[in-house]
Structure 1
Amino acid sequence: MKSISLKSTYIKTSITAVALSIASTTWAAGPVVGQFLTGSSGGVYDILGGGLTNTINKHVDNMRLNPSNPATISRVPVQLNNGRAVLGIVQMDIINRAMKGIEEYQQPQPNVRVLMGLYDNVMSQVVLDDSPIQNINEAAGLKIGVPSEGTKMIVAGVYEMAGVPEDKIEWVYLSYAEIADALRDGYIDIGTLTAFPKNGTVEGLAATEGVRFLEADDSIQDQWNRETPINAFRKIPAGTYPGVDEDAAFYAVFASLIASTHLSDDAAYRIVKGVYENVDEVAAVHPAGKQISLAKTQEYIKEGIISPEQLHPGARKYLEEKGIKLQ
């Protein structure tokens, strides 16, 4: 029985190795066939990734990509690193951790590169319109709803900088829908929700209860942006939600299109070119697509969100041809 088990294991391992080898060779020399890892079903990454997949397959020769939902967003770099997927969407703070092999990554994921910046996903601190709280520096002793430990770590860092220690806040872990309900019911004082591009949960809350976004002093925003560019503050434009007539701001995560290094330089170049030249098609799928541009990628590089060393060589070539300074 042991020999059969060992033989089975050997066969499975060999098949996997051969499959990965074939995938790498194919990506370099022939049609690119494989997965485009998007995001949770129905989420922005999923919708936007589907639009990007269609645009790439339509306008880039020898591309046959299939959109696929990863088990978790943190698995996207791992799958690309192992050559089990071709492209993916993920935010740059995750890419940094993956390439370094820190926090949720037990080892570095070196076979991952960036093709382009996509869009700013701006978070927010939401209160009901009749709340007496105006500024994040007033949060000591209050309950704040957060959707995950990772999000809480970043939010807590902002509050610490504003003079409110992490242990002076009661953190409540809830889904986005649960955060909205908890605000309505008075179970929490502040909710952490994505706010831009437009979030249906926030929109529903604004329409039924009325909401405001807490302020952070300009000095706090400036200091945070200098020290934490990978999660810099970005604007939530006035009018995004009913009854919210002033601009607001909170930290953002910066979504980017990433690729496996198994993807040849030529294929990466053609993907970048195909997306930029047909970006209107992607923008028609989801409002987040309206942010995709050469200027957005240039902004991310200039502000230290994307390091030039993280770029795929094929993407570097395209950007340099377009006059984008990478140093």
Structure 2
Amino acid sequence: MRKIKTISLLLICVLLVAAFAVGCGAKEERLAVATGGTSGVYYPLGGAFANIISEKVGGVTANAESTGASVENVNLLNKGDVDFAMVQNDISYYAFNGVEMFDEQEPMKNLRGLATLYPETIQIVAAGNANIASVEDLRGKRVAVGAPGSGTEANARQILAAYGLTYDDIQADYLSFGEAADNLKDGHVQAAFVTAGTPTAAITDLATTHNVNLVPIPSNIAQKLIADYPYYAEVTIPAGTYRNQDEDINAVAVMAMLTVRAGLSDDVVYNITKALFENLDSLAAAHARGGDISIDTALNGMSLEIHPGAQRYYNEVK
């Protein structure tokens, strides 16, 4: 009888251990994707990316987190507080190299690239009655140049410098997208720099109620910028992007990109990169800019070392 009880107890122990092992094996790794504000482009695309991970990649789930976008995101990623982040390629370059707004911090060496996604165009919006047809016309005007320490502010400073201008030549106001749009409406500023995917909701809203125009960056200036800052690209804002925009506008852009923390498993990053490019329709459905994402341009403007897991996928398909 004692022998039967002993066998029964052993059997129960074995079953409990097996159940525990199965339970542990079924546990999924939870990943976090840093995006941006809920009214921007990063949030819906980051949400679609998180859904692809959760639905198409075994053993992991992901959730998208609303954040303050690029500058906050590189800090979160470098500290390991998130696993993926949507970031402008110029901001990731600054962070990795410890320059611009990161010049008083240690270079962020935990950042790796996964893919570049779509152009984030530097749009210079001017009030229609301000007689601003070129960047030179900003001289002496009150101009919103982006929030302090933001990517937009760095873009504004670099573009002005390409024309031989500094903040001493304008009346610079350090305003976010929303603040800049409100101040243009009220006439408190006469022009604003906005770095975002087009069409940008704040500019669309502004153009429906106010007479505004986009200030072009001609090709010779664009090429000068690219020579100095290789993360820039020359782009066109197509006619009709905004109300009363009757012609194409030459501009420059930085690239939105997906970054990943260096320590994430090569196999996990490989599987996620593969799932991303096999489900691009989900990104296109989430936002118009998702339709710009392509395996053919996934490394264009890449400003970071590629994560080995992503590189393995690119080696297979290219």
User: Taking structure 2 as the reference length, what is the TM-score of the superposition?
Assistant: 0.83
**Equivalent-residue separation in structure 2 for 1:165 and 1:83 (angstroms):** 37
Spell out, residue by residue over 1:55-105, the C-alpha distance to the aligned partner (whole angstroms, 9 max, x if none).
Answer: 121111112112122356323233333333221111112212222233444
| Deviation (angstroms), 1:263 | 1.3
Residue 315 of structure 1 corresponds to 310
| Deviation (angstroms), 1:49 | 0.6
Spell out, residue by residue over 1:91-149, the C-alpha distance to the aligned partner (whole angstroms, 9 max, x if none).
Answer: 11221222223344411222221111111111211113344221112221111112213
Amino acid at match of 1:196: G
Q: Which runs of 4+ in 1 moved over 4 A?
A: none
What is the number of residues matched between the two proteins? Answer: 289
**Equivalent-residue separation in structure 2 for 1:32 and 1:297 (angstroms):** 26
- Higher mean displacement: 191-200 or 310-319: 191-200
Tell me which of 281, 302, 308 is aligned to 1:306: 302
* 1:218 to 1:103, Cα distance in 2 relative to 1, 3 A: closer
Residue 197 of structure 1 corresponds to 198
Residue 85 of structure 2 corresponds to 88
**Equivalent-residue separation in structure 2 for 1:153 and 1:100 (angstroms):** 15
**Equivalent-residue separation in structure 2 for 1:122 and 1:84 (angstroms):** 29
Q: Say whether residues 1:154 and 2:149 are aligned partners.
A: no
* 1:242 to 1:57, Cα distance in 2 relative to 1, 3 A: same
Give structure 2 stretches of 5+ with no counterpart: 1-23
Q: Say whether residues 1:79 and 2:76 are aligned partners.
A: yes
| Deviation (angstroms), 1:226 | 1.9
* 1:179 to 1:78, Cα distance in 2 relative to 1, 3 A: closer
After superposition, residues 145-294 of structure 1 pair within 5 angstroms as 145-149=144-148, 150=150, 151-194=152-195, 196-294=197-295
What percentage of aligned pairs have identical amino acids?
Answer: 31
* 1:294 to 1:188, Cα distance in 2 relative to 1, 3 A: same
**Equivalent-residue separation in structure 1 for 2:185 and 2:80 (angstroms):** 46
Contact 1:195 1:202 in 2 (8 A): no
Give structure 1 stretches of 5+ with no counterpart: 1-25
Contact 2:69 2:86 in 1 (8 A): no
**Equivalent-residue separation in structure 2 for 1:136 and 1:253 (angstroms):** 18
After superposition, residues 24-63 of structure 1 pair within 5 angstroms as 31-63=28-60
Q: Say whether residues 1:110 and 2:106 are aligned partners.
A: no
What is the SS of the residue equivalent to 1:240?
coil
